Every structure is written in structure tokens, then in C-alpha cells.
Structure 1
Amino acid sequence: MPRFWANVIGNQLVWLCAVIGAGHGLRWPALLAAAVYVGSQLAWSPHPSVDARLMGVAIACGLVVDGLAGGTGRVVYAAGNGVAWLAPLWILALWAAFAMTLTVSFAVLQRHLVAAALVGLLLAPLAYLSAARGWSSVVFAAPPWHGVAVLGLGWAVALPLLAACARHWQRQASPLDTLAAGETR
């Protein structure tokens, strides 16, 4: 149970560091917080190679989802890269950190891909709205629901994809990997 709570609380702390930092024009708080969090989660993971692959897929999803949202002009990110079609580094750090939840606190979504799509569609945009209202790290062009819809639809595709990858790769992981991870951690 301690790993579950460290996973949940750590991910939320990364989110706070990212959106507060971006709201102040800074990328480094997200990068530092995500590096510490991801490192700790990989150290605790029974299958670090699975989590590392999930992180790669999550970053690719972030490049597509947030790149599309920014490129269409529907969403403007503070502390951006200067290229609308390229998701900001702080957003990609959030995607990397989020990937660490897919085998722990969001592991239930691996068995319920429709629920994963609904979580992506409905709940993910709330995080962006909170970042916009609380810290101005995200700005939605008028009408704001267009940007929310782009993000919701992107997450509705990305989250089931990530959950399916997590399930598939965990099933493929060798029992010897689990034993070795347990012996060295």
C-alpha cells in the first residue's frame, strides 16, 4: 500500500510543480519533479522496463495530443517551446510522470478500456481547466470548449492505448524479471 500512495501523491506533486512553474514561465520545476518521481517509481517497479516503455509511449501521446491542441490554436501553453505544434517540455514531463501511474494507481484501467476512454474524455480536461484557472499555465482560445474537446478526445484515445500497452507488456514480463527486481530493491 505505501507504493500506491507514493504513486498517487508523487504524481500530484509533479502536476503542481509543473503547472505552478509554467504559470511563472518556468520549465525546470516540472522537469526536476518529474525526474525525481519517475526515478523513484522505476526504482520501486517490479517491471521497470515496462514502465520505461510506457513512458516512451506516453511522451509520444503527449506530442500528438498536446501538439495538436497547441497547433490548432485552441490551447496556448505558458512556458512553451515557441513552436505551437510542439508540446512544451513541462507538458511532456507530465505525460512521463503520468505513465508511472498506469501500473500502480491507474492499473484498474488496464481491465476496463471503456472506463479509460471515459476518464480520458471527462477527467483529463479538468486537469487542464484547473491549470488554466489556478495558475494560468494553459489558456483556452474562445470558445474554450473547443480546446477542452480537442484535449478530451485526444485523451480518450491515448489513455486506453496506454492502458492496453501496460496490460500487454506486464503480461509479457518474465517472472524472473519480477524476482530480480524484488531481490535488488
Structure 2
Amino acid sequence: MRHFWTNVIGNQLVWLCAVVGAGQGLRWPALLAAAVYVASQFAMSAQPGVEVRLLGVGVLCGLAVDGIAGATGQVVYAAAWPSAWLAPAWILALWAAFAMTLTVSLKVLQRRLWLAAALGLVAPLAYLSAARGWSAVAFPAPSWQGVAVLALGWAVALPLLATCARHWQRGAGPAGTNTKGVPA
């Protein structure tokens, strides 16, 4: 149960560090917070190989979802790279941290992909909060278009991540070995 709460609270702290830092034009708070959080999740994981793969897929999802949102001009990110085509480092840190929740606090999504898609549709609420509370993102008018781009991207990405988590956890045995006892 301790791992569950560390997973939930740690992820929220990463989000807070990321959006407050980005709102001030800083990338490093997100990168530092995500690095500490991800390392703690690896240390507590019975299957760290699964977590590493999820982290990779999570960052790729972030590159796609937030990269498209930025490239289309529907979402403007603070503390961004010079090119709008590349999702900012602080956003990618958030995706990496979020990927760590799929085997612990959001494990339920692995068997309920419809719920993962529904949760993905409301994910832009976090972006709206980051925009209004800390100016970490902005939605040019009409703002509903940016929200829609993010909602659709998350509605695809979250079930994909949940499916990967389920598949990889099933293929790995305890302590990061696969079903044949070979390191995963």
C-alpha cells in the first residue's frame, strides 16, 4: 500500500514542479523531480524492465501528442524548445513520470481500456489547470481546438500505454524475470 501512495503523490508532485517551473520559464524543476520520482519507482518495482519500456513508450507518446499540439499551434508551451515540433522537455518529463503510474496506481486501466480512453479524453483538464494557475501552457483562440487535439491524443495514447503495461507485466515474472526465469 505504501508503494501505491508513493506512486500517486510522487506523480502529483512531479506535475506541480513541472508546471510551476515551466510557468517561470524553467525546465530543470520538472527534469529533477521526474528523475527522482522515476528512480524511486524503479527501486520499488518488482519488474523494473517493464517500467523502463513503459517510460520509453510514454516519452514517445508525449513526443507525438504534445508535439502535434505544439506544431499545429493549438497549444503554446512555456519553457519550450525553439522548434514547436518538439514537445518541451518538461512535458516529456511529465509523460515519463505518468508512465510509472500504469503498473501501480492506474493499474486498473490495464483491463479497462474504455476507461483509459475516457480518462484520456479528460486529460486536458490538467493542461487547463496548468494554463490558468501557472501559465505553463496557453490555448490560442478558439481554445477548444487545442483541448480537442490533446483529448484525442490522450484518448489514443492512454489505452496504448495501458495495453503495453498489461502485456509486458504478463510476460515478466517476479523481480523482472520473464516466465522462463530469464532476466527481462
TM-score class normalised by the smaller sequence? over 0.9
Q: TM-score, normalised by structure 1?
A: 0.94
TM superposition shift of 1:176 = 5.8
CA RMSD of aligned residues (A): 1.2
Equivalent residue, structure 2, for 1:66: 66
TM-fit CA distance, 1:174: 2.5
The answer to whether the Cα contact below 8 Å between 2:120 and 2:156 also exists between their aligned partners in 1 is yes
TM-score of the aligned structures, taking structure 2 as reference length: 0.95
Q: Deviations over 1:140-160 (max 9, x none)?
A: 010100000000000000000
Equivalent residue for 1:77?
77
For 1:136 and 1:80, the matched residues in 2 are separated by 13
Q: Which runs of 5+ in 2 are unaligned?
A: 178-184
Q: Percent identity?
A: 75
Equivalences for residues 76-155 of structure 1 within 5 A: 76-122=76-122, 124-155=123-154
The Cα of 1:22 is off from its aligned counterpart by: 0.1
Residue 163 of structure 2 corresponds to: 164
The structure where helix makes up a greater share of residues is: 1
Contact in 1 for aligned 2:19/2:136 (Cα 8 Å) = yes
Tell me which residue corresponds to 1:183: none
Amino acid aligned to 1:135: W
* Structure 1: stretches of 5+ with no match in the other structure: 179-185
Secondary structure class of the residue paired with 1:6: helix
Looking at structure 1, the residues matched to 86 and 113 of structure 2 have their Cα atoms a distance apart, in angstroms, of 28
Write the distance in 2 (CA, Å) between the matches of 1:96 and 1:28: 15
